[in-house]
Structure 1
Amino acid sequence: MSVRSRWLMISVGLGILLNPLNSSIVSVAIPILQNVFQLDFTDVSWIIFSFYIASSIAQPVMGKASDLFGRRKIFLTGLVVAFIASLIAPLAPNFAWLIVFRIVQAIGTSMMVAVGMAIVRIHITEKQATALAVLSIFLSGAAAIGPFIGGVIIHWWGWPAIFFVNIPFVVMSFLLSWRHIPKDEPSTPVAQGMSVRKWSDLIDASGILLFTVSLVALLASLLSAKSSGHISLGNVLVFLIGLVLLGVFVRHELKAPSPFIPLRTFAQYPEMTWVNVEFMLVNVLYYSLFFGIPSYLQMVRHVSEFQTGILMLTLGLSSLVTSPIAGRWIDKSGPRPALLVSAILMTLGSVWLATLNPTSPVISVCLALAAFGISNGLNNVGMQAALFQSSPKEIVGVASGLFNTSRYLGTILSSLLIGIVMGSKFSFEGFQVLGIILMLIALSLVFMSRRRRESGQLKES
């Protein structure tokens, strides 16, 4: 790989790591944000919801925008947006404004993720697979060490530092990207003279609006009912509005020429659909633990942010170490055995969480973290391999987009699950209930993995 290619890869890598870093670093900050802004646990959960909802919408939209305006422009603009949001977020006068800046941050970082892989794929022609694998390490590594970094910097400098930590990465990436990302021309026949109506149809603005409003309405009604302890007429009406809008969204997406979420593809390829459902459940499990454990350690066991970050390293390091081993195993045996082992490990980890008691050694949490970390390493490779096996070659791009959508839906559902189970206060009893629910989800994944393995053996015979 040439020196130019290495610098290009570093330029892009420093930018794309910001999205997973900011999605994970906040997990350690939830208890302190709850105290600073005097919120219950349900309300503070919107710091997670807002980021994932914005990312799930922004990434496919920005991918389309890069075809119109150029990938280099979108990448550099994303860095500027992320810089501004990171600089002013700590100055938020209240929690509502913090959510606004968090959404802006999600949009900015999503602009880089949406086009970063494409920039490397287009401009690095030698050892392309190696380059993409290195970028994957930037993404997974940032997510893995986010809680550790968050714990350390909050301990020494307070919660605003989780936003300021982005600034050196943004500045380095911008300076390197300005120099090393080649200029590219947009698709001029498409971009020139395009009306607002055509641009709206191209990105499916109606679908995006319906998806966002329906999702927010459903989340708000469920969380509000849980937080207040009773179901009011207002909760019911908002929930029904969300359901109706979700139905309208499904109908719209089935008819749209350029749908935001191509639901027709799911209907045409049922095996691919099951892979995405599985991946969504995997992310519900993983991120329920990812966001639940730091709150359990700090609010229930009164562990400091610094110690919480150290303990959470078990999860990230287990995942990072397992991923390359999983790659070699899956190359030889296919994804089915690895995914079955992953589901079993998640089941064992969930059982371990459900059996903890208030006097259990804090270090014992590391066993559950290690089990989930290893399973995550297996899933990172295994689910992607299962997706490619179940997807026809002509729709691999669409399949990858749907795969990321499934990831974001899983993370959103994990936040919803924690909010519903815990309500206004994170408690040990709620944590045990969460462990039991995760165990049931993990058992369903074991069943689904065994079913796929048996069906695969039948096809081979």
Structure 2
Amino acid sequence: MMLGSVLNPINSTIISVALVPIGAALGAPVSQTAWLVSALYLATSLGQPVVGRLIDLFGPRRLFLISTSLVGVAGVVGTLAPNLGVLIVARVLLGFGTCAGYPAAMALLRSEARRTGHDSPGGVLTALAVANQTIAVVGPLLGGLLIAVGGWRATFALNVPLAVVAVLLGLWRLPRSAPRTAEPGSAAVARLDLPGMALFAATLTSLLLFLMNLHLRDGYLLLIAVAAGTAFALRELRAADPFIDLRVLGGNTPLIATYGRALVAYVVSYAFLYGFSQWTEEGYGLSPFHAGLAQIPMFLMAIGVSIVSGRRKGVRGKLLLGAVGQIVACLLILTLTGKSPFWTLPLVALVFGIPQGLNNLALQNSVYFQADPDRIASSAGLLRTFAYLGSMVASSATAASFGRHADTAGMHHLAWVMLGAGALYLLLTVFDRTLGRATAADARTAK
């Protein structure tokens, strides 16, 4: 399950150092290669809660195997892609293919807690967070190595062996017996809220397309999102078994607050991941390999912070420290120029490692304890959806800040956007009085 859950972050991060070589090889500017980022997050934002709901109904095994097989197909398509359009298709396939890993892992954790009677997932949740942190931060370095050895196509080819191993491990180790929440096939199919899923897809797709390229001429997309969202809300409030139970979600203020924090946290995180990487290559002059190498301190700090804080109860302190870390790192970026000493680049990455290690772990733990146990997979999928909404805002802000060239002025403009998101994250944490209840006992009491 750890391998399945990291397929998405590895494809999210490895592309960060491949954007410039892909653009150079295919003659595409930054504003066009940004679609390689947006396409994956658009597909994943749609797929995570949908696949999560299917996992709630059918169990994790079959959904994991089907989705992960699609990752291998996407790897082949991307490796052989003749142009940017086909590459974007490959990234869409990767987005849908990586949807099952994380929701399936959360569903299995909850199932094991029921089977054993011990709801103490701290160590396992920490292991998941550390695995994702490791891949998320080592991804740029791995991407640089692959590009140095086999060119940018190697970053897509990597998915083929990863998918094969994940599928084989899934066949061998995933339990065949469905969790207690799963139902017989016919009953589960009857419970699928297909109209709700379709309206959710229409709402999210139009909203994300608007966020990808913020402009008044695309205002109609926002109107479509509002109309579809209204229809979705009316449908879910009236449905006997809704895709997303808005009645329960609406009464779960702590979970809603967690989703809001995830959105703004990932605006900062992904703006740094993609914007800083592109600037170190184009604005500072590093090779893809050295651009990835400059982020190694963030990898080390994030892992260390996750391990140290992983088994400690409570999330409020982690979120507050993570918020402050984001703000400090953004302020440091504003001091960088194309002539800054090289050591300042890993210093910024080192500071960013603190919120990277704290925020993801705290948000993940919050959802585990705040969500309805019978909808844990779909709730975990929604966490990723809100995170990817943040990533889409980050991608749009990065494209708008840089234009055709990732220069220092554009990096500073992006840093101000990140700083605003970081300040909002801090405010959402400071004024949230429900954070102290993000424990297993409180979650059971609320239920």
Do both proteins adopt the same fold according to a TM-score greater than 0.5, normalized to the shorter chain?
A: yes
3-state SS, counterpart of residue 99 of structure 2: helix
Note if contact 2:4-2:100 (Cα within 8 Å) is conserved in structure 1: no
User: Which AA in structure 2 matches 1:105?
Assistant: L
Report the Cα offset of residue 304 of structure 1: 0.1
Give the Å deviation of 1:154.
0.8
Q: 8 Å contact 1:351–1:439 — kept in the other structure? A: yes
1:325-372 CA deviation, whole Å, 9 max, x = no partner?
2235x43xx332332222122111111111222311233122221112
Native 8 Å contact 1:297 1:303 kept in 2: yes
Q: State TM-score, norm by structure 1.
A: 0.82
Q: What one-letter code is carried by the residue in structure 2 that aligns with 1:316? A: F
Residue in structure 1 matched with residue 310 of structure 2 by the alignment: 327
Structure 2 contact 68–98 (Cα < 8 Å) conserved:
yes
Cα–Cα, structure 1 residues 264 and 416, in superposed 2: closer, same or farther, change >3 Å?
Answer: farther
Q: 1:210 is matched by which residue type in structure 2?
A: A
Kindly name which structure, 1 or 2, has the bigger radius of gyration based on alpha carbons.
1
Larger helix fraction of residues: 1
Alignment RMSD (CA, Å): 3.3
Partners of 1:455 and 1:62 lie apart in 2 by 28
Q: Does 2:211 align with 1:219?
A: yes
Give the one of 321, 330, 334 matched to 1:354: 334
Distance, in Å, in 2 between the alignment partners of 1:394 and 1:116 is 14
Matched, 1:336 2:316: yes
Contact 2:78-2:90 at 8 Å conserved across structures: yes
Matches of 1:263 and 1:411, distance apart in 2: 24
Partner of 2:445: none
Q: Deviation at 1:258?
A: 4.3
Is the 2:53–2:377 Cα contact (8 Å) retained in structure 1?
no
Cα deviation, 1:307-334, whole Å, max 9, x if unaligned, reads 0111122222211110122235x43xx3
Cα deviation, 1:241-292, whole Å, max 9, x if unaligned, reads 4444444444444444444444444532334322321222111111110111
Cross-structure match for 1:65:
54
Cα gap change, 1:256 to 1:368, in 2 (>3 Å):
farther
Deviation (angstroms), 1:153: 0.8
Name the counterpart of 1:54.
Answer: 43
- Kept in 2: contact 1:214–1:246 (CA 8 A): no
Unaligned runs of 5+ in 2: 438-447
Q: CA deviation at 1:381?
A: 3.0
Q: 1:275 aligns with which of 258, 261, 284?
A: 258
**AA in 1 matched with 2:145:** V
* Amino acid aligned to 1:157: G
Structure 2 matches for 1:20-419, cutoff 5 A? 20-66=9-55, 70-119=59-108, 122=111, 129=121, 130-184=123-177, 190-192=184-186, 198=190, 201=193, 204-219=196-211, 221-222=213-214, 225=215, 232=217, 235-328=218-311, 330-331=312-313, 334-386=314-366, 399-419=379-399
Instruction: Give the superposition deviation at 1:43.
Output: 1.9
In the alignment, the residues of structure 1 paired with residue 245 and residue 385 of structure 2 have an alpha-carbon distance, to the nearest angstrom, of: 11
User: Relative contact order, CA 8 A, sep 6+: which one is greater?
Assistant: 2
The verdict on how the C-alpha distance between 1:342 and 1:298 changes in structure 2, with shifts beyond 3 A counting, is same
SS at match of 1:17: helix
SS in 1 for 2:338: coil
2:440 corresponds to: none
Q: Quote the offset at 1:108 in angstroms.
A: 1.6
Q: CA deviation at 1:170?
A: 2.2
1:156 counterpart letter in structure 2? V
- Write the distance in 2 (CA, Å) between the matches of 1:326 and 1:13: 19
**Which whole-Å CA distance do the structure 2 matches of 1:350 and 1:185 have between them?**
46
Which residue is equivalent to 1:4? none
State the secondary structure of the residue aligned to 2:177.
coil
Letter in 1 for 2:202: L
Say whether the 8 Å CA contact 1:61–1:203 is kept in structure 2.
no
How many residues align? The count is 432
Higher mean alpha-carbon deviation, 24-33 vs 394-403, is at 394-403
Q: State the match for 1:8 in structure 2.
A: none
Q: Secondary structure of the residue that 1:361 maps to in structure 2?
A: coil
Query: Is the counterpart of residue 431 in structure 1 residue 425 in structure 2?
Result: no
Q: Give distance in 1, aligned partners of 2:14 and 2:68.
A: 18
Q: In structure 2, the residue corresponding to 1:110 is in which secondary structure?
A: coil
Inter-partner Cα distance in structure 2 for 1:58 and 1:444: 27
> Per-residue CA shift, 1:147-169, capped at 9, x if unaligned?
11111111221111111112222
- Counterpart CA distance in 2 for 1:184 and 1:203 is 29
CA contact (8 A) 1:336 1:453 kept: no
1:403 and 1:63, CA in 2 relative to 1: closer, same or farther beyond 3 A?
closer
Give the superposition deviation at 1:389: 7.0
1:57 to partner: Cα distance: 2.0
C-alpha distance in structure 1 between counterparts of 2:18 and 2:372, whole Å: 42
Taking a change above 3 Å as real, the CA distance of residues 454 and 189 of structure 1, as seen in their structure-2 partners, is closer
Q: Measured at CA, do residues 190 and 424 of structure 1 come closer, stay the same or move farther in structure 2, by a change above 3 Å?
A: farther
Shift of residue 13, structure 1, vs aligned partner: 2.8
| Alpha-carbon distance in 2 for matches of 1:206, 1:386 | 28
CA distance in 1, matches of 2:175, 2:53: 19
Per the TM alignment, residue 29 of structure 1 is displaced from its structure 2 partner at its CA by 0.9
Identify the range of structure 1 (172-181 vs 120-129) with the bigger mean alpha-carbon deviation.
120-129
Matched residue of 1:362: which SS? coil
Q: Is the 8 A contact 2:38 2:395 kept in 1?
A: yes
Distance 1:104 1:401, change over 3 A: closer
Does 436-445 or 294-303 show the bigger shift?
A: 436-445
User: What residue number does 2:2 align with?
Assistant: 13
Residue range with higher mean Cα deviation, 114-123 or 168-177: 114-123
Cα distance change on mapping 1:157 and 1:37 into 2, 3 Å: same
* Partner SS for 1:192: helix
User: Which TM-score applies when normalising by structure 2?
Assistant: 0.85
